[in-house]
């Protein structure tokens, strides 16, 4: 047996809040103008929310209204100073990504992953943490003792086939009022046990708020920044991470769209070749539509990609096939971009 750890952050973690703001703004631009080009970055901390990046769009978006709505949704005060520092996208980038050219909005490599651990084709420990973080987000809306910020990780025993057999440590750091710790700690333990029991997984030990307390959190206790949780956003360390962050980027940016496509290809090949796991890597040059390379690895070794995949993986075709101009990106930013 070997020990391995994966992690998730709650929806109210400052970095995740910034991701959600970036994607909520992106959703607003795309709703009004499908040709919007966006690269929106958000930083928050100590009473200020700073919105910067590049947008070229005919949409008229009330930035302050959207930022305050997201803050309210995640359980934070809305009396922040909101600084709008958005600029226009570089015309040099636009040359290669306009509707006539249809080239990739960035260069780099993007990874997609799938495995046969669960019905979601995701690692079991990742699914457990996603379920727990969703439960926590719903529970804190009903229980005034729980606050929005937090994170959790699983350190598990894995066999030679990288299958989770048992959890050694379930570590949870959660923001709370610190006056009802016995109640909230027990509630969290009970929930984790119930989730893990659904998969026949035993938990040896809980580590809950290992520092002793967690009352001051959010943007008071920490700063937040878009794109600082790319491992949580992808596969929680079970697969490689490439390209860049997802949030705030319209789908011409292959950092985002090609990562989504690579995930779909990984699921397709997993089923087609009866694989235990599959990892897909797609690389691009900025302004060029077809990928430079597609590499498919698996528990059965290298798989030659079908030639048709290169045409499938142009930004235009990805956007069309995955309906990426009509997707709620804010929702994806809450608990990780790959959940099914």
Could you tell me what percent of the chain has a pLDDT over 90? 90
Tell me whether residue 330 is in a domain: yes
Question: DSSP secondary structure string, 221-272?
Answer: HS-EETTS-HHHHTTTTSS---S---TTB-TTSHHHHHHHHHHHHHHHHHHH
Indicate whether 206 and 262 sit together in one domain: no
Provide the number of structural domains found in the chain: 2
Beta bridge partners of 167: 156, 203
Tell me whether residue 53 is in a domain: no
pLDDT in tens, 17-49: 999 999 999 999 999 999 999 999 999 999 999
- Is the confidence at residue 300, as pLDDT, over 90? yes
Indicate whether 114 and 143 sit together in one domain: no
Indicate whether 146 and 182 sit together in one domain: yes
Indicate whether 182 and 264 sit together in one domain: no
Indicate whether 112 and 150 sit together in one domain: no
Indicate whether 114 and 155 sit together in one domain: no
Indicate whether 330 and 265 sit together in one domain: yes
Among 171, 198, 218, residue at a domain's last position: 218
Q: Report the pLDDT value the prediction gives residue 287, as an integer from 0 to 100.
A: 87
- Is the confidence at residue 88, as pLDDT, over 90? no
CATH of residue 291: 3.30.300.10
Tell me whether residue 103 is in a domain: no
Indicate whether 114 and 128 sit together in one domain: no
What is the rounded CA–CA span in Å between residue 112 and residue 120? 14
φ, ψ (nearest 5 deg) of residue 92: -65, -40
Continuous segment of H or E residues that includes residue 176: strand 164-176
Continuous segment of H or E residues that includes residue 314: none
Mean pLDDT of the chain: 94
Indicate whether 147 and 179 sit together in one domain: yes
Q: Report the pLDDT value the prediction gives residue 75, as an integer from 0 to 100.
A: 95
Q: Which domain holds residue 210?
A: 2-9+124-218
What mean pLDDT is predicted for residues 95-117? 77
pTM of the model: 0.94
Q: Report the pLDDT value the prediction gives residue 103, as an integer from 0 to 100.
A: 75
Indicate whether 284 and 316 sit together in one domain: yes
Length of the chain measured in residues: 340
What mean pLDDT is predicted for residues 188-214? 97
What mean pLDDT is predicted for residues 255-276? 97
Among 193, 218, 243, residue at a domain's last position: 218
Indicate whether 162 and 181 sit together in one domain: yes
Tell me whether residue 239 is in a domain: no
Indicate whether 145 and 196 sit together in one domain: yes
Tell me whether residue 59 is in a domain: no
Tell me whether residue 85 is in a domain: no
What mean pLDDT is predicted for residues 288-316? 96
Q: Report the pLDDT value the prediction gives residue 98, as an integer from 0 to 100.
A: 56
């Amino acid at each position: 047996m070997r020990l391995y750890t994966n992690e998730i952050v709650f929806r109210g973690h400052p970095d995740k809040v910034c991701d959600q703001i970036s994607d909520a703004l992106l959703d607003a631009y795309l709703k009004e103008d499908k040709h919007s080009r966006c690269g929106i970055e958000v930083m928050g901390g100590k009473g200020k929310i700073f919105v910067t990046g590049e947008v070229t769009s005919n949409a008229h978006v009330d930035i302050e209204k959207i930022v305050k709505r997201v803050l309210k949704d995640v359980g934070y005060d809305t009396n922040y100073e909101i600084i709008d520092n958005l600029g226009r996208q570089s015309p040099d980038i636009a040359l290669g990504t306009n509707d006539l050219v249809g080239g990739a909005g960035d260069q780099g490599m993007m990874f997609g992953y799938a495995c046969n651990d669960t019905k979601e084709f995701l690692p079991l420990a990742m699914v457990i943490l996603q379920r727990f973080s969703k439960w926590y987000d719903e529970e804190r809306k009903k229980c005034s003792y729980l606050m929005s910020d937090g994170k959790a990780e699983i350190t598990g025993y894995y066999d030679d086939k990288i299958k989770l057999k048992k959890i050694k440590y379930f570590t949870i750091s959660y923001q709370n009022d610190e006056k009802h710790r016995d109640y909230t700690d027990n509630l969290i333990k009970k929930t984790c046990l119930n989730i893990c029991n659904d998969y026949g997984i035993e938990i040896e030990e809980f580590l809950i708020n290992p520092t002793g307390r967690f009352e001051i959190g959010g943007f008071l206790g920490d700063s937040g920044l878009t794109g600082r949780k790319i491992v949580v956003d992808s596969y929680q360390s079970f697969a490689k991470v490439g390209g860049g962050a997802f949030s705030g980027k319209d789908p011409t940016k292959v950092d985002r769209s090609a990562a989504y496509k690579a995930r779909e290809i990984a699921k397709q090949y997993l089923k087609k070749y009866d694989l235990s796991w599959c990892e897909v890597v797609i690389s691009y040059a900025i302004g060029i539509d077809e990928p430079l390379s597609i590499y498919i690895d698996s528990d059965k070794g290298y798989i030659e990609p079908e030639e048709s995949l290169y045409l499938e993986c142009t930004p235009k075709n990805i956007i069309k096939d995955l309906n990426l101009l009509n997707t709620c990106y804010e929702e994806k930013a809450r608990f990780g971009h790959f959940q099914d």
